[in-house]
Amino acid sequence: MNLMETEISRAIELFQFAFMQRALMGGILMGTMGGLLGSFTILRQLSFFSDALGHSTLLGLSLGLLLGLNPSWVILPFAVIFALVVNTFLERTQLWTDAVLNIVYSSSLAFAIITLSLIGEYKGGINHLLFGDILALQTFDLIISTLLLLVCIGFIASTLRTQMMLTLHEPMAIARGVSVETHRTAFVVLLSLVVGVAIKAIGVLLVSAFIVIPACSARLMTQNFTTYAILSAVIGAIAALCGIVLSALFDLPSGPSIVIVQLGFFLSAIGFANLRPIAS
């Protein structure tokens, strides 16, 4: 009991530091964004896109290191370029989405490994590239995340009906004159920016969990689309908050801790989904 009290006291002291407060705020912002866009992403079968983008962004990060640029300034432009390239390939080739993503993701990862091999000092910071460091977030990162969250909310709120049609019944959206290509490109670019922002905190390997797991958890808990999107964002935010607290209490890596908490939400949602028919 005394040991637990000591750990809790230590964690409370940690949260008095500015870097921990920034980490908490950043986690909540990124978790909310990931959950909100993830609710549309998984229904559009674009979940592999966030994973492919995360891995492909390693090329942007490695090019930034090779050229002596701040990797943080390279991520967002690279993420947008990746989204536009994938969109172009999908339109020009008419191939399956997962096949195109696999080609782009594998080739960019290969280039990234070659580029990293040319950088003598990259090994010391490779863990930060792969797993991120949410404790390293700065005020500027929080400002960017806040602005991007406002853009996400504004975009979804102003085009909610259109996004729902494109997600649930694309032929109906086409029949009603919706510019599918324009809305799809806008959504993919926005998703790529969210993933790009989250990579610094969560890392290349784990960033897709922020998009996929909260949305899948919310989908198991409700059938109402609006409630589903809101619940996904809430789960994303709470999981990030709890994950950071967990990492502080037990001195664990923050990114993996958040993903473990997200997994806990998902397993709980499975149990909720199994109990719901009995209750009704």
- Report the CATH architecture of 24-273: Orthogonal Bundle (1.10)
Go through 55-90 and write b for each residue having 16 or more CB atoms within 10 A of its CB, e for each that does not: bbbbbbbbbbbeeeeebbebbbebbbebbeebbebb
Provide the residue-wise pLDDT of the chain in tens; the chain has 280 residues.
566 667 667 667 777 888 889 999 999 999 999 999 999 999 888 888 888 887 788 888 888 878 877 777 788 888 888 888 887 887 787 777 778 888 887 888 888 878 877 776 554 456 666 777 788 888 988 999 999 999 999 999 998 888 888 888 878 888 888 888 888 888 988 998 998 888 888 887 888 898 999 999 999 999 899 999 999 999 999 999 999 988 888 888 888 899 999 999 999 999 888 776 544 4
pTM of the predicted model as reported, rounded to 2 decimal places: 0.86
